[in-house]
């Protein structure tokens, strides 16, 4: 399996997982259920307690395309507002625990469009105990990895 900064970039260790390609700080993978682009943050909130990652996935069986998932480096407080910022665009995410997602498919499309045109993104939230956190991602290679992952699913109904 390809590595990103010496790790699997938060990618699950699915035995069917195959590397599609590595594009700067982002990588594209294909497994038995989905195809996805993934990266680790360049700066993680308060260190690396949990392997944080941002991924954009296509799930052919679910009919999902370019679906954002963020694995936060620290637990979010219950009911915390989670915000993704790319350039001057800000998006509110929904989340629970270490995980955050776009609110709907229209938000997924807008988020991915913003990620394609920016140099970096940050995800900010309040953790348990009220402390603010942020994970920051470089976006160099993101657009290519997203496209490579989507193309890897074309023959599987992932249009």
Q: What is the pLDDT of residue 16?
A: 72
Contact call for residues 10 and 55 (beta carbons, < 8 A): yes
With respect to CATH, is domain 18-156 assigned 2.60.40.1880?
yes
Residue tagged 């998006």 (tokens): 91
Q: Domain residues of the chain, as ranges?
A: 18-156
pTM of the model as a whole: 0.85
Element (H, E) at 137: strand 132-138
pLDDT in tens, 56-112: 999 998 888 899 999 999 999 999 999 999 999 999 999 999 999 999 999 999 999
Contact call for residues 48 and 56 (beta carbons, < 8 A): no
CA distance 24 to 49: 24
pLDDT in tens, 112-157: 999 999 999 999 999 989 999 999 999 999 999 999 999 998 866 5
């Amino acid at each position: 399996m390809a590595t990103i900064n010496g790790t699997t970039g938060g990618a699950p260790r699915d035995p069917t997982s195959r590397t599609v390609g590595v594009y700067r700080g982002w990588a594209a993978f294909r497994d038995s259920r989905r195809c996805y682009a993934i990266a680790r943050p360049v700066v993680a909130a308060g260190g690396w307690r949990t392997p944080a990652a941002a991924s954009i996935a296509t799930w052919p069986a679910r009919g999902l395309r370019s679906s954002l998932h963020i694995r936060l480096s620290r637990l979010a407080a219950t009911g915390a507002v989670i915000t993704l910022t790319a350039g001057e665009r800000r998006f509110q995410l929904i989340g629970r625990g270490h995980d955050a997602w776009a609110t709907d498919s229209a938000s997924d499309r807008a988020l991915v469009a913003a990620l394609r045109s920016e140099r970096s993104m940050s995800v900010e939230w309040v953790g348990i105990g009220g402390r603010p956190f942020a994970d920051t991602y470089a976006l160099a290679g993101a657009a290519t990895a997203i496209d490579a992952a989507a193309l890897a699913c074309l023959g599987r109904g992932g249009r």
